[in-house]
Structure 1
Amino acid sequence: MDTADLPGGGRLHLLRRGQDFEILFGEEQLMGSWDSESEEALATIVCERLGTRAGHLLIGGLGMGFTLAAALKAAPAEASITVAELVPKVVTWAKGPLAHLFGESLNDPRVTLTIRDVSDVIEDAQAAFDAILLDVDNGPDGLIHLANERLYCNWGLRAARDALRPGGILAVWSAYPDRVFHDRLQNAGFAVEEIRMVADDDDDHHFIWLATKPA
């Protein structure tokens, strides 16, 4: 249906097959409209853990809006949610061919959408967020944007820890396990929990790391 150029090179493709939509990076599928459970869980589980302390959430990556919609549903009514999206065309898709997936999420007064690298938002923040939810690659490596490597390296994780309030949670979505990243989160000073979820074909799994900053 459309393409979007990425900063630094590469291209996203928006495809439609019948009633289903998917976003590809080259030939690599980033997300599909038919399988949203783990993207929703990224927000739902974090909000359940934080309860009334989920006052300000940062979502890295707009995607198809599943994490945002789940956060709006699960977070306290007075919470605020900042969404950082790197690619302007993704926002265009959200308001155009994917509008039926987003519903009224982007019009919710609790939501602030910024066209900006989420790494920069994190680095500029000091104890500003109760949770940071990252789903900008297929896992903890810079797949679609090489600069995303700084989100997952040692100093990037320390920046995320500093951007969180005490007891805050960094949650990272992945399509694959990564023991090295799990250990890196621990070395950055987080208490780490790994959640494994069955994907849509029952033969694959998605992973969510919950990294909690000490209170």
Structure 2
Amino acid sequence: MASEALPAASSIPVELIDTADLPDGGSLRLLQCGNDFSIRFGSEELMGNSVRHSEEALAALGCRHLAQRGGTVLIGGLGMGFTLGATLSALPADATIIVAELVPKIVTWAAGPLAHIFGTKLSDPRVSIEMADVHDVIVRGVGKFDAILLDVDNGPDGLIHIANERLYCNWGLRAAHAALTPGGVLAVWSAYRDEAFVERLVSAGFDVDEIGVEAYPGEDDGIHTIWLATKLAGSV
């Protein structure tokens, strides 16, 4: 394991645990600093085990309409499993949860250096992993999902994986609309607000609710955004 320099104020070394190549170039790095783990793309932290509040809120808000009846939920991206864990907590025993993950190393990390964070989430009988681009799973899943939870980038763009832009463009949102059952919810996490994205959601036929969630609970240090886009009953 290589080591990375930390800011001078810290005496705990940062260790590079592993890297994962991305389909369209670049790579992810799994870093460890004491008990803290981080997955980074360049200088951007995509996820860390010490900050999970808004990722868990994505699942809690996106699945609240399924608390009593269950259903089929698609999660875009495995990450460190916090959205998955909150989805499991939100849904009854007869629900179906599909996690679409594009990068095989993420799944390898879940069973290896991050196994203590994942616990038994991936062995839950409600959960299956599909090694695929979540966009492709959405396109071929017309009328299949009661909720789609997207936390695949830092917002509605293609910062990490350029093909993610397909998810957030006009025709990508129409595909998500078609993949949902009536009353189904597309929930999207973002590190920032985006009025143009809200307009695209509305144009695709969704009823949209924008919710601000504290990035760090109890601290005045930024707000993450979650959009809940509901497919109205009777729409196609």
Q: Same fold (TM over 0.5)?
A: yes
Q: 1:202 aligns with which of 202, 205, 220?
A: 220
1:54–1:131: 8 Å Cα contact kept in structure 2?
no
Instruction: Give the drift of 1:52.
Output: 2.8
CA contact (8 A) 1:53 1:130 kept: no
- Equivalent in 141, 150, 156 of residue 140 of structure 1: 156
Superposition deviation, residue 46 in structure 1: 1.9
Q: Secondary structure at the match of 1:73?
A: helix
Distance 1:169 1:121 in 2: 16
- Is 1:189 paired with 2:234? no
Match of 1:75 among 80, 91, 94: 91
- 1:85 and 1:118 in contact (8 A); partners too: yes
Q: Residue 43 of structure 1: CA displacement? A: 0.8
1:11 to 17, 27, 33: 27
What's the Cα RMSD here? 0.9
Say which of 67, 73, 87 aligns to 1:57. Answer: 73
Q: Residues 89-118 of structure 1: CA distance to partner in whole angstroms, max 9, x if unpaired?
A: 000111111111111010011101011000
Q: Return the index of the structure with the highest Cα Rg.
A: 2
Counterpart contact for 2:101–2:131, Cα < 8 Å: yes
Given that residues 61 and 86 in structure 1 are in contact (C-alpha distance below 8 angstroms), is that contact kept between their aligned partners in structure 2?
yes
Separation in 2, partners of 1:109, 1:51:
17
3-state DSSP class of the match of 1:158? helix
Q: Deviations over 1:166-185 (max 9, x none)?
A: 00000000001101101110
Matches of 1:24 and 1:183, distance apart in 2 = 30
- Deviation (angstroms), 1:50: 3.3
The match for 2:12 is none
Which blocks of at least 5 consecutive residues in structure 2 are unaligned? Answer: 1-16
Q: Aligned partners of 2:186 and 2:130: how far apart in 1?
A: 19
Q: Distance in 2 between matches of 1:210 and 1:57?
A: 14
Partner SS, residue 138 of structure 1? coil
Q: Distance in 1 between matches of 2:207 and 2:184?
A: 11
Larger fraction in helix: 1
Task: Give the letter aligned to residue 210 of structure 1.
Answer: L
Identity of aligned residues (%): 66
1:162 to 149, 164, 178: 178
Which amino acid letter does the alignment assign opposite residue 42 of structure 1? Answer: L
Any runs of at least 4 consecutive aligned residues in structure 1 with deviations exceeding 6 A, and if so which? none
Task: Provide the residue aligned with 1:151 in structure 2.
Answer: 167
Map residues 15-34 of structure 1 onto 2, 5 A cutoff: 15-34=31-50
Distance (whole Å) between structure 2 residues aligned to residue 136 and residue 13 of structure 1: 16
* Contact 1:139–1:174 (CA under 8 A) maintained in structure 2: yes
Count of residue pairs brought into register by the alignment: 215
> What letter is aligned with 1:209?
W
8 Å Cα contact 2:149-2:186 kept in structure 1: yes
> Unaligned 5+ residue runs, structure 1?
none
Q: Distance in 1 between matches of 2:197 and 2:147?
A: 19
In 2, the alpha carbon distance for the partners of 1:89 and 1:18 equals 22
Q: In structure 2, what residue type is equivalent to 1:68?
A: L
TM-score (norm 1): 0.98
The aligned residue for residue 213 of structure 1 is 231
